[in-house]
Amino acid sequence: MLALKNSVSTSDFIEYIRVISIASLLAAVSTLRLEIILFQRLMKVDAFTILFPALVAVMSTILVSASLSWIGVVGGFSVQIGFPGVVLALYLGLQEYFSFLCIQEGRWRELVVVRVFQMALSLFVIPYIYFISAVDIDLSILYFGLSFILPIVGWIGYRVIREGGNLIVPNASAHEIYSASVRSFGLTFSQIVSSLYVNIASILAISLLPAATAGDFSFLSRFATAPVGLLRQVFGQLFLADCLKLEKDGMLRSDKIEKLMHKAVVPSLLFYLSYTALFSLCLFIWQEVLNVSNYHLIFPLFLAGITQLVASQIGLVRVILREEFLFLVAEVLRVICIVFILLFISGIDYGYRYGFGSSLVYGSYILFTIWRVREKFGKYIY
């Protein structure tokens, strides 16, 4: 994103932000969270648990993107993302799935190896962006998507072969299949609405703000939230793994879960605050080089990033709470609140409206999550 910000026009950068935002929404659909449900059911990772969600991700991403293209053509909405956007969406969905399965099994070496290959491949696009005058946005998105998705595809093949390729479908009653389906769609729709919340400010900024201001807001917002997903995939997934172990052992209690929350949140916050200080310093020194004129937005956006980080970590507890509908309602209310703040509160800069408003919304969601944990796991449940 940094390379593109300095190498393309404002309108092209806005188009890049639009594609990323829609791809993020598609990614929420991809695996239908089947990797979580299968692991929670089997408490192991076999060839079926690895391959089935990946195949579902490919089919669902293609189907939903085709539907969006049809809606765009018929309704005249700018929701098409093309093949490069589909590849990016598939990567974003499989990245979460990949991290979850690796961390549940403690396969840190495989996790690191895949990440190294991803970074190595993605670095080849930077010379192309910097040294070729007519940068093609679609080609840049396609290359970034492929550079990150190909190592995951290689990992899937490696793991399936290591598992002997035995695709043993787990036995399940009709009731279990129905229950799993309901949970899958509940988790998926919650993820979609959560992703919409993360991207709605950039989407509205493109419509409400001048192009240069919208570009700066989206650029700074992406950098403010960039570590959130990474830390969620590490500390958040470790938190979820520990919660699943407690569930398996019949030791779910609110005090134990809250200790695990602290264990996940504290190192994440320390890392994020260090990242914030470093990025703010770089932005202050090189704001002209980075081509950012609205650098003052960094404070409210990073304030929102802190609360988003905490909410994304502890929000994974919904998997063991098994209250998908209740959390879906909470996610919808979050979106309604932030849209109301951005559209109907005037007299305050858009960035500050989002920063402070989002902090309050995320803070409320954190309190809601802790309340549900204490309400349900205030004592031994077995």
* Tens of pLDDT, residues 218-253: 888 888 888 888 888 889 888 988 998 888 888 888
Give the percent of the chain with pLDDT over 70.
87
- pLDDT (tens digit per residue) in 173-196: 666 666 777 778 888 888 888 888
Among 237, 238, 259, 256, which Cα is nearest to 246's?
A: 256
**Can you give the pLDDT at residue 4?**
63
Q: How many residues does the chain have?
A: 382
Query: Is the separation of the CB atoms in 212 and 293 below 8 Å?
Result: yes
Q: How far apart are the C-alpha atoms of 300 and 325, rounded to whole Å?
A: 31
Residue 50: Cβ within 10 Å count? 23
For residue 344 the two structure tokens come to 């109907």
Q: How far apart are the C-alpha atoms of 91 and 229, rounded to whole Å?
A: 13
The residue ranking higher by pLDDT, 176 or 100, is 100
Count CA atoms within 13 Å of residue 148 on its CB side.
18
Query: Is the separation of the CB atoms in 34 and 55 below 8 Å?
Result: no
Q: What are the phi and psi torsion angles at 43 (to 5°)? A: 55, 35
Spatial CB neighbours of 103, under 8 Å, sequence gap ≥ 6: 111, 233, 234, 237, 238, 241
**Can you give the pLDDT at residue 296?**
80
**Can you give the pLDDT at residue 128?**
60
The residue ranking higher by pLDDT, 84 or 180, is 84
- pLDDT (tens digit per residue) in 265-322: 999 999 999 988 888 887 777 666 566 777 788 889 999 999 999 999 999 998 889 8
Spatial CB neighbours of 171, under 8 Å, sequence gap ≥ 6: none
Spatial CB neighbours of 245, under 8 Å, sequence gap ≥ 6: none
Domain boundaries, the chain: 1-171, 173-382
Whether 216 has a pLDDT exceeding 50, the answer reads: yes
How many Å is the maximal CA-CA distance in the chain?
Answer: 65
- pLDDT (tens digit per residue) in 120-176: 888 776 666 555 545 677 888 888 888 899 999 999 999 888 877 666 666 656 666
For the chain, how big is the Rg over CA atoms in Å? 21
Query: Is the separation of the CB atoms in 19 and 84 below 8 Å?
Result: yes
* Own/partner pairs, 170-177, CB within 8 angstroms, 24+ separation: 170/38, 170/41, 170/42, 170/48, 172/41, 176/41
Residues 166, 167, 168, 173, Cα dihedral to 10°: 180
**Can you give the pLDDT at residue 268?**
93
Q: How far apart are the C-alpha atoms of 220 and 282, rounded to whole Å?
A: 12
Mean pLDDT score of the chain: 84
Whether 26 has a pLDDT exceeding 70, the answer reads: yes
**Can you give the pLDDT at residue 380?**
46
Whether 381 has a pLDDT exceeding 50, the answer reads: no
Positive or negative CA dihedral for 320, 326, 329, 335?
Answer: negative
Query: Is the separation of the CB atoms in 173 and 5 below 8 Å?
Result: no
**Can you give the pLDDT at residue 356?**
94
For residue 185 the two structure tokens come to 């769609």
Residue 185: Cβ within 10 Å count? 14
Segment 328-352 mean pLDDT: 91
Whether 2 has a pLDDT exceeding 60, the answer reads: no
**Can you give the pLDDT at residue 374?**
92
Whether 3 has a pLDDT exceeding 60, the answer reads: no
